[in-house]
């Protein structure tokens, strides 16, 4: 193949400029600002800031509930990622086999994608309301006295359900297109070699889906970490009380509800470092085991 | 900028066209950011329209900014950008933040005096006088929607159980089994920090924080939780386990709904809930003072004022400040205060307005509406003036979290209060550092 090259060495940078400036303005600048203010203790109205070194970080890490919040964030992220990927994969495999009315099934499975996170939270609130929620009444038949907003586990359960429900369509769309990208000849060859559909899926289809799966894994972890904010906020009615919150939500609570800018910035810097480590691990360890065709 | 101003005035003019024929050509525009949604917001708009119609020099625009926390945060962000409104409504728990930031607001007392509006702190009812004042007693914020936590009573439940509404928690312990037997949840509250901690302190005249409840400065202020409040929560936990007390989480509405539905016999709400309740509930109800423990010596004093105050933000031209002063004068007039009191259930903040309501025979028709103001006018004590603590929104969150743990059995009352004190004191120390520079 003929190699195409730009004649002017600066031209490609010019083409990259819009993207780079967006990264600089909307990511690098605020990130630098967060790092700076994490070392200061500032009065909310901005009359003055005192340099306090690592005090904000020490206060953050040593606060009594930080460990509990970090633990919940981990469990929440795992549950949301695992369930939304698993259920979406199952649905995609099944929908891929449907012949009659395929587009109807697919549309029905995808429409949730258009629901905004706060709306998803609102729907969850209606379904899980402790006085009139239908789900609460349903599980009461099995002897589960569910109390969202009072019981730590129940509230966390509702958050996971709402977050998973909201995320399944995205994963479904990607898995379905991934499945449709697997060539028929490979599948036919496999079905001659092996009669068990279950085994064929795990040994042939699943490895071929791995690039899609890996991409979705990262997307889903990021989603569970950051984008579930709207759902959590609505379910908690902005009153955390003794309910589970995620690390990102705690940043909001302290910064925007409590007006503690320094402490909130310190927490977001900790989060930034966490996400950085996570990304490195993902790309170093997991991606090695994935083969792109 | 000139273009934006023109557009803004055009829009304002168009909006005014329908409501009034008065010309606003030369009027000074002022804005008021508030947190009053629903019916309360409508009354705020009525008051603003009334003010605009009452004079020609100023034109007030009220803007709803969401809940209390949202309004304060929006105000702070606007102030940092130099785009602050003239008037901002800040709630009780946020008052230390805005008063602590020296230079963010014009003290209301100075503002009124400088603009030739007569001001006498004695004109205000005793309960609201000093809550939004500084340590010298100078009024910084103008009390606006002022409320007290009071006990609402489902009269039907009382009749069925054959009991009288309790005055003290000792009385409640006696009647609770009967109310439960009659098929009711005997008692529900709706805001743990406000009703069971802050006002527990003031109803029992107990120290809430060192440094004169925080009024004497942020540095070194620490929370105080002595035996009586620990015993109170030990009793509440016992009631919860025995089915004499219902807890539905931190959300106000979740706790009010079962009372509105007639499932709860006694509900501790706000005097400001009166307007809403009288429209929704299907059973006869009445109200009485927030109960106290008779066994605590000196109990039965007045409660703290709750709700919010209006603050005049600094950095505005004199002409606009003059308008703010004239609006405050209008707002505190007996007629407007009585209108606000009648429509919302919040207490009138001046003695003159209270007298007017009495003279009008309002309380003979609706005695429950007077409970809040009477409770605020109960004998004061050393510790009933109020409290002044920074980062208090977070401290309230800590209280809700720990008490929630007590109710779910994850921790004991003593451990919970030790944690509230430890976390709270840490937040107070952090706040002290922010105001000292």
Query: B58 forms bridges with which residues in the sheet?
Result: B28
* Predicted confidence (pLDDT) per residue in B311-329, tens digit: 999 999 999 999 999 999 9
Residue with tokens 């060495």: A9
Instruction: For residue B222, give both structure tokens.
Output: 């620490």
Other CB atoms within 10 A of residue B163 CB = 20
CB contact under 8 A, A44 and B430: no
Q: Which helix (H) or strand (E) holds B147?
A: strand B142-147
Could you tell me if A193 and A210 are in contact, meaning their C-beta atoms sit under 8 angstroms apart? no
Residue with tokens 């009749």: B159
* Predicted confidence (pLDDT) per residue in A159-177, tens digit: 999 999 999 999 999 999 9
* Predicted confidence (pLDDT) per residue in A75-131, tens digit: 999 999 999 999 999 999 888 887 777 788 888 888 888 888 888 888 988 999 988
Which residue among B101, B261, B405 places its CB closest to the CB of A242?
A: B405
CB contact under 8 A, B73 and A256: yes
Sign for the CA dihedral angle at B311, A237, A147, A138 comes to positive
Among A262, A272, A277, A275, smallest CA distance to A54 is for A262
Spell out which residues of chain B touch residue A261, defining contact as CB-CB under 8 Å.
none
Distance CA B131, CA B133 (A): 6
For residue B355, the SS3 value is: helix
Residue of A nearest to B94 (CA): A258
Burial label for A177, CB within 10 Å (0-12, 13-18, 19+), is: exposed
For residue B143, the SS3 value is: strand
CB contact under 8 A, A150 and B100: no
Which residue among A152, A239, A256 places its CB closest to the CB of B400?
A: A239
Burial label for B340, CB within 10 Å (0-12, 13-18, 19+), is: buried
Distance CA B351, CA B332 (A): 10
Give residues with Cβ within 8 angstroms of B418, minimum separation 6: none
Distance CA B338, CA B344 (A): 10
Confidence grade of residue A60 (pLDDT, cut at 50, 70, 90) = confident
- Report the phi/psi class of residue B199: left, alpha or beta, with left for phi > 0 and alpha for psi in -120 to 50: alpha
Site from A154, A258, A260, A261 to mutate, B interface, most B CB atoms within 10 angstroms: A258
Which residue among A45, A130, A151 places its CB closest to the CB of B104?
A: A45
Bridge pairing between strands B105-106 and B87-91: unpaired
Residue of A nearest to B255 (CA): A131
CB contact under 8 A, A147 and B394: no
In terms of average pLDDT, the best of A59-73, B29-43, B229-243, B304-318 is B229-243
Q: Which helix (H) or strand (E) holds A173?
A: helix A152-180
Residue range A221-239: mean pLDDT, rounded: 89
pLDDT at A1: 54
Spell out which residues of chain B touch residue A45, defining contact as CB-CB under 8 Å.
76, 79-80, 98, 101, 103-104
CB contact under 8 A, B67 and A150: no
Within 13 Å and on the Cβ side, how many CA atoms surround B45? Answer: 11
CB contact under 8 A, A258 and B254: no
Residue range A245-249: mean pLDDT, rounded: 94
The DSSP line for A207-250 is HHHHHHHHHHHHHHHHIIIIITHHHHHHHHTT--TTS---HHHH
Residue range B281-290: mean pLDDT, rounded: 94
Q: Which domains are present in chain A?
A: 54-289 (1.10.3720.10)
Distance CA A264, CA A60 (A): 9
Give me the count of residues in chain B: 437
**CA-CA distances (angstroms) from residue A200 to A86, A87, A96, A172, A183?**
17, 19, 15, 20, 14
Which residue among B97, B258, B426 places its CB closest to the CB of A131?
A: B258
Could you tell me if A159 and A76 are in contact, meaning their C-beta atoms sit under 8 angstroms apart? yes
* Predicted confidence (pLDDT) per residue in A200-213, tens digit: 888 888 888 988 89
Spell out which residues of chain A touch residue B90, defining contact as CB-CB under 8 Å.
none
Confidence grade of residue B265 (pLDDT, cut at 50, 70, 90) = very high
Residue of B nearest to A48 (CA): B437
Could you tell me if A130 and A76 are in contact, meaning their C-beta atoms sit under 8 angstroms apart? no
* Predicted confidence (pLDDT) per residue in B124-140, tens digit: 988 788 889 888 889 99
Instruction: For residue A189, give both structure tokens.
Output: 């060859």
Distance CA B259, CA B152 (A): 9
pLDDT at A193: 85
Residue of B nearest to A235 (CA): B251
Confidence grade of residue B405 (pLDDT, cut at 50, 70, 90) = very high
Spell out which residues of chain A touch residue B391, defining contact as CB-CB under 8 Å.
258-260
Please give the angle made by the CA atoms of A259, A263 and A266, to the nearest 5 degrees: 135
Spell out which residues of chain A touch residue B404, defining contact as CB-CB under 8 Å.
150, 241-243
pLDDT at A289 over 80: no
Other CB atoms within 10 A of residue A65 CB = 19
How far out from the chain centre does Cα A36 lie?
27
Could you tell me if B165 and B251 are in contact, meaning their C-beta atoms sit under 8 angstroms apart? no
Choice among A148-152, B66-70, B165-169, B274-278 with the minimum mean pLDDT: B274-278
Give me the count of residues in chain A: 293
pLDDT at A186: 87
For residue A111, the SS3 value is: helix
DSSP strands (E only) in B212-305: 245-246, 264-270, 285-288
CB contact under 8 A, B97 and A259: yes
Distance CA A29, CA B321 (A): 37
Q: Which domains are present in chain B?
A: 11-147+305-365 (3.40.190.10), 149-303+390-435 (3.40.190.10)
Instruction: For residue A26, give both structure tokens.
Output: 């909307």
Spell out which residues of chain A touch residue B429, defining contact as CB-CB under 8 Å.
none
pLDDT at B9: 52
What are the φ/ψ torsions at residue A26 (nearest 5 degrees)?
A: -95, -10
Q: Where are the alpha helices (DSSP H) in B81-152?
A: 95-100, 108-114, 126-129
- Among residues of chain B, what percentage have pLDDT more than 90? 75
Spell out which residues of chain A touch residue B408, defining contact as CB-CB under 8 Å.
150-152, 242
Closest-CA distance, A35 to chain B, in angstroms, reads: 18
Distance CA B186, CA B246 (A): 8
Closest-CA distance, A46 to chain B, in angstroms, reads: 6
Burial label for A7, CB within 10 Å (0-12, 13-18, 19+), is: exposed
Give residues with Cβ within 8 angstroms of B30, minimum separation 6: B58, B59, B60, B61, B86, B87, B320, B323, B324, B327
CB contact under 8 A, B251 and A64: no
Among A220, A128, A261, smallest CA distance to B431 is for A261
CB contact under 8 A, B422 and A64: yes
* Predicted confidence (pLDDT) per residue in B181-206, tens digit: 999 999 999 999 999 999 999 999 99
Summary mean pLDDT of chain A: 88
Distance CA A238, CA B337 (A): 31
Site from B78, B83, B263, B397 to mutate, A interface, most A CB atoms within 10 angstroms: B397
Instruction: For residue A148, give both structure tokens.
Output: 């969202």
Instruction: For residue B206, give both structure tokens.
Output: 């107990």
pLDDT at B17: 46
Residue of A nearest to B76 (CA): A45
């Amino acid at each position: 193949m003929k190699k195409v090259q730009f004649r002017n060495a600066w031209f490609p940078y010019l083409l990259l400029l819009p993207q780079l400036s967006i990264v600089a303005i909307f990511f690098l600048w605020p990130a630098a600002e967060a790092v700076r203010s994490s070392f200061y203790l500032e009065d909310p109205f901005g009359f003055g800031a005192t340099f306090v070194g690592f005090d904000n970080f020490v206060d953050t890490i040593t606060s009594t509930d930080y460990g509990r919040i970090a633990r919940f964030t981990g469990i929440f992220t795992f549950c949301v990622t695992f369930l939304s990927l698993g259920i979406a994969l199952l649905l995609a495999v099944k929908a891929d086999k449907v012949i009659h009315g395929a587009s109807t099934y697919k549309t029905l499975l995808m429409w949730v994608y258009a629901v905004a996170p706060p709306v998803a939270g609102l729907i969850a609130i209606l379904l899980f309301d402790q006085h009139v929620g239908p789900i609460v009444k349903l599980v009461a038949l099995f002897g589960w006295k569910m109390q969202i907003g009072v019981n730590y586990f129940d509230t966390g359960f509702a958050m996971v359900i709402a977050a998973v429900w909201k995320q399944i369509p995205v994963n479904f769309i990607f898995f379905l297109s991934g499945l449709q990208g697997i060539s028929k000849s490979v599948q036919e060859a496999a079905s001659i070699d092996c009669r068990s559909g279950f085994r064929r899926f795990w040994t042939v289809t699943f490895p071929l889906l791995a690039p899609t799966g890996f991409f979705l894994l990262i997307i889903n972890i990021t989603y569970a970490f950051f984008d579930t904010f709207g759902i959590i906020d609505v379910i908690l009615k902005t009153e955390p009380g003794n309910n589970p919150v995620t690390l990102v939500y705690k940043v909001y609570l302290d910064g925007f509800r409590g007006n503690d800018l320094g402490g909130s910035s310190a927490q977001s810097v900790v989060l930034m470092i966490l996400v950085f480590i996570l990304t490195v691990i993902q790309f170093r360890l997991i991606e090695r085991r994935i083969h792109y065709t | 900028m000139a273009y934006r101003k023109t557009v803004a005035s055009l829009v304002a003019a168009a909006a005014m066209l329908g409501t009034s024929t008065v010309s606003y050509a030369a009027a000074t525009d002022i804005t008021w950011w508030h947190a009053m949604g629903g019916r309360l917001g409508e009354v705020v708009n009525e008051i603003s329209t009334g003010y605009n119609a009452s004079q020609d020099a100023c034109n007030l625009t009220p803007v709803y900014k969401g809940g209390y926390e949202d309004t304060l945060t929006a105000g702070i962000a606007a102030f940092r950008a130099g785009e602050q409104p003239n008037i901002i409504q800040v709630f009780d728990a946020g008052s230390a933040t805005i008063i602590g930031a020296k230079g963010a607001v014009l003290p209301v007392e100075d503002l009124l005096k400088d603009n030739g509006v007569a001001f006498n702190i004695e004109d205000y009812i005793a309960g609201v006088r000093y809550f939004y004042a500084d340590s010298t007693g100078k009024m910084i914020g103008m009390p606006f929607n002022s409320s007290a936590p009071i006990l609402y009573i489902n009269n039907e439940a009382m009749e069925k159980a054959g009991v009288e509404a309790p005055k003290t928690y000792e009385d409640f312990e006696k009647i609770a089994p009967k109310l439960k037997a009659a098929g009711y949840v005997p008692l529900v509250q709706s805001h743990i920090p406000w009703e069971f901690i802050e006002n527990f302190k003031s109803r029992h005249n107990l120290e809430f924080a060192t440094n004169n409840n925080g009024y004497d400065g942020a540095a070194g202020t620490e929370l105080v939780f002595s035996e009586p409040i620990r015993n109170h929560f030990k009793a509440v936990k016992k009631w919860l386990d025995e089915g004499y007390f219902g807890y539905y989480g931190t959300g106000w509405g979740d706790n009010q709904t079962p009372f509105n539905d007639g499932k709860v016999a006694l509900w501790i709400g706000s005097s400001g809930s009166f307007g809403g309740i009288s429209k929704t509930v299907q059973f006869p109800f009445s109200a009485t003072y927030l109960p106290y423990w008779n066994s605590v010596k000196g109990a039965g004093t007045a409660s703290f004022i709750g709700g919010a105050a209006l603050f005049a933000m600094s950095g505005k031209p004199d002409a606009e400040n003059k308008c703010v002063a004239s609006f405050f004068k209008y707002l505190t007039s007996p007629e407007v205060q009585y209108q606000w009191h009648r429509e919302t259930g919040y207490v009138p903040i001046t003695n003159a307005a209270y007298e007017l309501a009495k003279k009008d025979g309002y309380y003979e028709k609706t005695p429950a509406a007077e409970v809040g103001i009477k409770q605020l006018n109960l004998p004061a004590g050393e510790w009933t003036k109020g409290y002044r603590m920074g980062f208090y929104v977070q401290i309230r969150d800590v209280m809700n979290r720990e008490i929630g743990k007590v109710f779910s059995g994850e921790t004991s009352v003593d451990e919970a209060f030790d944690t509230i004190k430890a976390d709270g004191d840490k937040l107070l120390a952090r706040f002290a550092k922010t105001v000292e520079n």
